[in-house]
Amino acid sequence: MNQMLQEPQVESPEVKSSEVKAPETIDPPVPSHPRFQKPQRVAFVQSAWHREVVEECRIAFLGELEARHITNVDLFEVPGSFEIPLHAQILAKTRRYTAIVAAGLVVDGGIYRHEFVADTVIKALMDVQLRTEVPIFSAVLTPQQFHESAAHLDFFRRHFALKGVEVAEACANTLLSLERLRGQVAAGIA
């Protein structure tokens, strides 16, 4: 036998409008991020090519990094993504920075194919990181298709803002991990 359960019908008492309370709004909890034992200093190197898109990454990156207790960030701009690795290497060699972040948008055009430029930049950044032991993070992106239409530019602005948050999370989490690891190595634990 198939029966639907029904709630009993109860007449509700009359409620005056002065007795009705507005629902309380509950703010979402603010994430608590661990603090660093030592101050962190980060370099952010961005390409000037498609600045209006790439700056969305920088803005989101700075906001998320501040929430993660890293406020000492130096900003650098280079003409294009191809120039980022050399700047990253020079900055890493100064030993002033605990991390370096690269941001750029590589699209078709110019004398190089965008896949070549993107691959070259990423490989060079990895080489710098391994040579200098300064972590380097990349938000150098290359879309398969890019058109300078309003819709595409709007899409990539939003995408770069998301990537800015993601690269800040990766940067902060890696710096925390390295801080713990270096402490363990100094203590002879690792």
Q: Is the pLDDT of residue 141 over 80?
A: yes
Confidence check: pLDDT of 169 > 90: yes
> Domains of the chain: which residue ranges?
39-186
- What architecture does CATH give domain 39-186? 3-Layer(aba) Sandwich (3.40)
- DSSP letter at 18 equals G
Task: With cut-offs at 50, 70 and 90, classify the pLDDT of residue 170.
Answer: very high
For residue 11, pLDDT over 60 is answered with no
DSSP structural state of residue 137: E
- Helix, strand and coil content of the chain, in percent to the nearest 5, comes to 45, 15, 40
- Dihedral sign, Cα of residue 118, residue 124, residue 125, residue 126: positive
pLDDT of residue 138: 95
SS (H, E, C) 63-80: HHHHHCCCCEEEEEEECC
What values do phi and psi take at 21, rounded to 5?
-100, 140
Structure tokens at 62: 């700075």
The pLDDT of residue 3 is above 90: no
| Burial of 104 per CB tally in 10 Å (0-12, 13-18, 19+) | buried
- Measured CA to CA, the distance from residue 131 to residue 123 in angstroms comes to 12
Q: Please tell me the distance from the alpha carbon of residue 108 to that of residue 144, in angstroms, as a whole number.
A: 9
Q: What is the pLDDT of residue 2?
A: 45
In this structure, what token pair is assigned to residue 154?
């709007």
Higher pLDDT, 126 or 117: 126
Global pTM? 0.78
The Cα–Cα gap between 34 and 9 comes to: 53
Residue pLDDT, tens place only, 47-56: 998 899 999 9
DSSP helix/strand/coil, 51: helix
Is residue 119 over pLDDT 70?
A: yes
Question: Which position among 51, 113, 131, 182 bears the catalytic label?
Answer: 113
Q: In 3-state terms, what secondary structure has residue 101?
A: strand
What contacts 152, CB < 8 A, 6 or more positions away?
146
pLDDT digits (tens, 9 = 90+) for 59-113: 999 999 999 999 999 999 999 999 999 999 999 999 999 999 999 988 865 545 6
Of 169, 109, 176, 180, whose CA–CA distance to 139 is shortest? 169
Annotated catalytic, 113? yes
